[in-house]
Amino acid sequence: MAQLEIKSLTKSFGETHVIKGVDLRVEDRDFCVFLGPSGCGKSTLLRLIAGLEEASSGEILMDGKPITDLPPAKRNLAMVFQSYALYPHMNIRENMSFSMKLAKADPQLINEKVERAARILGLEPYLDRKPSALSGGQRQRVAIGRAIVREPRIFLFDEPLSNLDAALRVQMRLELARLHQDLKATMIYVTHDQVEAMTLANKVVIFSAGNIEQAGSPQELYRRPANRFVAGFLGMPQ
């Protein structure tokens, strides 16, 4: 059974049809990357999975059970945003513990989880600082740490590295690959960067204008692009 299954999912904003009937399976421990040009609906699909947008029609299942009508907090997912979305008035420890405090978790357990995440991400020296005292790369690590603390079944990433410079992007890419292995988690990752997609993913989903053009391993896509759009987007001769 697929861990996450999306069936005939659509989303319109008024007359604008942004997601036009998406079917997709994401298996346990997949690193699944949504790749496509800007404006094609990648973030909207991710937000639908997270429950931050309401679907117009269709269904989302987790472990075979519908989650389409569940609020975000009940979906066993954690999302990492491009803009980091940290609370500026809270220090790093408070940023990382906030969701667990809301859920009224045991304070000692919260501490253990925050410190474990900080250790994984090399954030231990910064726990008492405010986000404004951190570099872009460190802020992005905090955003990832906040997701790790929640121990979700699935991590959702929306272009998490696009605000970082090129060298840091390469480093964070390696860290994300390591995290995926260490946490034994399922990751769904949105990007418009082909290199990022091909280095991170075991499954790439190519999008254009609200539709999936092709889904498969990087090797499959390079070997047998389904159409001219896919070939063109992967920079292959047509």
Could you list the residues that contact ligand ADP (CB under 6 A)? 13, 16, 18, 36, 38-44
- Segment near Mg ion (CB under 5 A); pick from 36-44, 125-133, 160-168, 228-236: 36-44
Contact letters (x/-) for Mg ion, 109-138, by CB under 5 A? Answer: ------------------------------
Residue 238 binding target from Mg ion, ligand ADP, none, CB below 5 to 8 Å by type: none
Question: Contact, 66 vs 60, CB < 8 A?
Answer: yes
Which residue, 85 or 109, is less far from ligand ADP as judged by CB?
85
43 binds Mg ion (CB under 5 A): yes
Q: Which helix (H) or strand (E) holds 141?
A: helix 136-149
- Segment near Mg ion (CB under 5 A); pick from 43-51, 69-77, 131-139, 180-188: 43-51
Report d(CA 231, CA 212) in Å as an integer: 14
Size of the site for Mg ion (CB under 5 A): 1
Question: Contact, 76 vs 28, CB < 8 A?
Answer: no
Positive/negative CA dihedral, 47, 83, 162, 137: negative
Residue with tokens 């999912």: 9
Which residue, 43 or 140, is less far from Mg ion as judged by CB?
43
Q: For the CB of residue 211, give the shortest distance to ligand ADP in the complex, in Å.
A: 12
Report d(CA 112, CA 166) in Å as an integer: 33
Q: How many CA atoms lie within 13 A of 219 on its CB side?
A: 1
Q: How many CA atoms lie within 13 A of 115 on its CB side?
A: 6
Which residue, 44 or 97, is less far from ligand ADP as judged by CB?
44
Which residue, 126 or 157, is less far from Mg ion as judged by CB?
157
Q: For the CB of residue 128, give the shortest distance to ligand ADP in the complex, in Å.
A: 35
Q: Token pair of 215, please?
A: 């889904």
Which residue, 113 or 192, is less far from ligand ADP as judged by CB?
192
At residue 149, φ and ψ (nearest 5 deg) are -55, -30
Q: For the CB of residue 207, give the shortest distance to Mg ion in the complex, in Å.
A: 10
Which residues, at least 6 apart from 37, have a Cβ–Cβ distance to it below 8 Å? 192, 208, 233
208 binds Mg ion (CB under 5 A): no
Question: Contact, 195 vs 155, CB < 8 A?
Answer: no
Which residue, 56 or 91, is less far from ligand ADP as judged by CB?
56
Residue 169 binding target from Mg ion, ligand ADP, none, CB below 5 to 8 Å by type: none
- Interface positions with Mg ion (CB under 5 A): 43
